[in-house]
Structure 1
Amino acid sequence: MDLRIQRSVVSNLRNRPKALEIGPFVAGLDPDTDSPFINYASPIPGAPITAADVDALVDAFIGAGRKPRLEYVTSCVPELEDLLLAAGFTIEARHQYLICTPQTVAAQPVPEGLILVEPTTDPDRAALTAAANEAFGEAPEASEADIARVRRNQERGGVVLAAFTPTGECAGAGQAMPPSDRLSEVGGIGVRPPFRRRGLAAAITAGVTQGIFDLGVEFAWLEASGDDSWRVYERVGYVPAGHRLYISKG
């Protein structure tokens, strides 16, 4: 499973609008934002990696005006961490990822007064993005580039869901990436503060996960950011499976 997850991450990076192949790495760089959570690289499984390759990766990021950063499944390239640390990288986090299958996913009720829908217009995509940004502690606004990213995910076969009130207020949202090797990453599950503690995160996670399974995906995977989200995902049917490393320089 680790290898399939890592391959799917690389595949998704290759489909970015500005993807770079830098030796044994694939970098997904976005010209519209310098966010390190969007601009990052990941190693190609099975490709040998040297210190010179790491230096070339750093140079490419700096040349693009971006912070050198990687996300990857640790078991697929166990030698890489030492090379990165020797090059001055700092570990941001180690996360355990969880997986779910069509057999284990459990539907969750949508809180009363809310509906889950897939946005089909740019105003709805903007409301979704603004709500997600607020949920993650950022400014509740959406740029044209943000809207384009959501639209592009949908056009490539990803699943996007948002929770709306009857008056059109967006309460929260989540997405699944376009399938690769019959896998899909679920992420961006966010609920605005006024709508929390009502089961909405679980409902969004279950809805997005089932939506991607309806497209023929065998496994969905995600990462939990804390104990609360871990409990939510376990309730939906996700179980621990492997480990990923987040590491950056500068």
Structure 2
Amino acid sequence: MITRVDDYLHRVPLSGSVAEQVGPFALFRSTTVWPYYARPVPGADVKIEPADVELVRARCAELGIPLSFEWVVETCPSLGDAAAAAGLTVVEHPLLVLERADFRPAVADARCEILSADEELVRQARAVAGLAFSEPGTGVGKAGPAERDSAAAEMSTDMVLALQSRALRGVSVTAGAFTDEGMVASGTHQPVDSTTEIVGVGTLPSMRRRGLAAAVTSALVDHALDNGVDLVLLSAESDAVAAVYEGVGFHRIGHAGAAE
């Protein structure tokens, strides 16, 4: 299972990047408006040293792109220590998966639906996610519909076009939850063959503690399972967030590492 997840995570960046090998890593060079990262080559089974991290640092400096890494801790346990020794900040997050038989759909007092590539919906969904991640955690916060509308209006045209392109190509599928105040939660899944990852699930901070994230996640899982996917994965920000996903049927299989 964890090998399958690692293989998927190595393939999914290719929808917006090109890969080149740098030492034991694949460095994904972005072809869109956001940066990507380097990952250990799956199955390489090598011990990562700080010098390997420095190779990627030098190549990123040459290309003028940010230095960052993502990996599955259990398939490359040496990378965290090597990255820390090279001066990077290292974090680990719970890594969870869901299979069809374990799915327990959640509902909330909101209308959840898969979104089209309509410009206003794209702007709103991205704005909701941005506000959610700018106030991390599960507690009720300040940002609400007014801040969402402001952030949506200020979003760059390049970002909107990139998100629309991904939706139209089917490499990302976004869901939104709606109340009388408009879109209040959103999230995306990124299918590659029969595996997908749910990313960017977020609720407007002022609307938290209403089950909206679980309901959006359920809508995404539903869509994925109805369209040829039999394994859904995600990484959670914290144990508290992981508990939300466990309520839908996800279970932990390891840890997602990140360093920058």
> Fold conserved (TM > 0.5)?
yes
**Cα deviation, residue 246, structure 1:** 1.2
**In structure 1, what is the Cα distance between the partners aligned to 2:235 and 2:22?**
26
**Cα deviation, residue 51, structure 1:** 5.6
Which residues of 2 match residues 27-42 of structure 1 at below 5 A?
A: 27-30=27-30, 38-42=35-39
What code does the residue aligned with 1:24 have? P
* Counterpart in the other structure of 2:2: 2
Other structure's SS at 2:192 match: coil
Distance 1:148-1:8 versus aligned 2 partners, 3 A rule: farther
**In structure 1, what is the Cα distance between the partners aligned to 2:242 and 2:76?**
26
**In structure 2, what is the Cα distance between the partners aligned to 1:162 and 1:220?**
18
**Cα deviation, residue 65, structure 1:** 2.6
* Counterpart in the other structure of 1:75: 74
**In structure 1, what is the Cα distance between the partners aligned to 2:23 and 2:33?**
24
**Cα deviation, residue 42, structure 1:** 0.8
What code does the residue aligned with 1:226 have? S
2:97 corresponds to 1:130: no
* Counterpart in the other structure of 2:156: 143
CA shift digits 1:7-38 (9 cap, x unpaired) = 1111112332454433432233446656xxx4
* Counterpart in the other structure of 2:214: 202
Q: Is the 8 Å Cα contact of residues 174 and 186 (structure 2) preserved in structure 1? A: yes
* Counterpart in the other structure of 2:176: 162
Residue ranges of structure 1 left out of the alignment (5+ in a row): none
What code does the residue aligned with 1:170 have? M
Superposition TM-score, scaled by structure 1 size: 0.84
Other structure's SS at 2:210 match: coil
Q: Which one of the candidate residues 113, 116, 119 is aligned to 2:113?
A: 116
Q: Is the 8 Å Cα contact of residues 119 and 162 (structure 1) preserved in structure 2? A: no
Q: Which one of the candidate residues 223, 227, 230 is aligned to 2:242?
A: 230
Which residues of 2 match residues 179-194 of structure 1 at below 5 A?
A: 179-180=192-193, 182-194=194-206
**In structure 2, what is the Cα distance between the partners aligned to 1:238 and 1:67?**
32
When structure 1 is superposed on structure 2, of 96-105 and 140-149 the one drifting more is 140-149
Distance 1:137-1:118 versus aligned 2 partners, 3 A rule: same
* Counterpart in the other structure of 2:64: 65
Which residues of 2 match residues 93-108 of structure 1 at below 5 A?
A: 93-108=91-106
Superposition TM-score, scaled by structure 2 size: 0.81
User: Between Structure 1 and Structure 2, which shows a larger proportion of helix residues?
Assistant: 2
* Counterpart in the other structure of 2:230: 218
**In structure 1, what is the Cα distance between the partners aligned to 2:157 and 2:25?**
29
How many aligned residue pairs are there? Answer: 241
**In structure 2, what is the Cα distance between the partners aligned to 1:232 and 1:41?**
29
Other structure's SS at 1:21 match: strand
When structure 1 is superposed on structure 2, of 15-24 and 124-133 the one drifting more is 15-24
2:13 corresponds to 1:16: no
Other structure's SS at 1:108 match: coil
2:170 corresponds to 1:172: no
CA shift digits 1:100-132 (9 cap, x unpaired) = 1111111111314x3423233122111111111
CA shift digits 1:158-182 (9 cap, x unpaired) = 3211123457x221100011224x2
**Cα deviation, residue 70, structure 1:** 0.5
* Counterpart in the other structure of 2:141: none
* Counterpart in the other structure of 1:88: 87
**In structure 1, what is the Cα distance between the partners aligned to 2:178 and 2:216?**
11
- Percent sequence identity over aligned pairs: 27
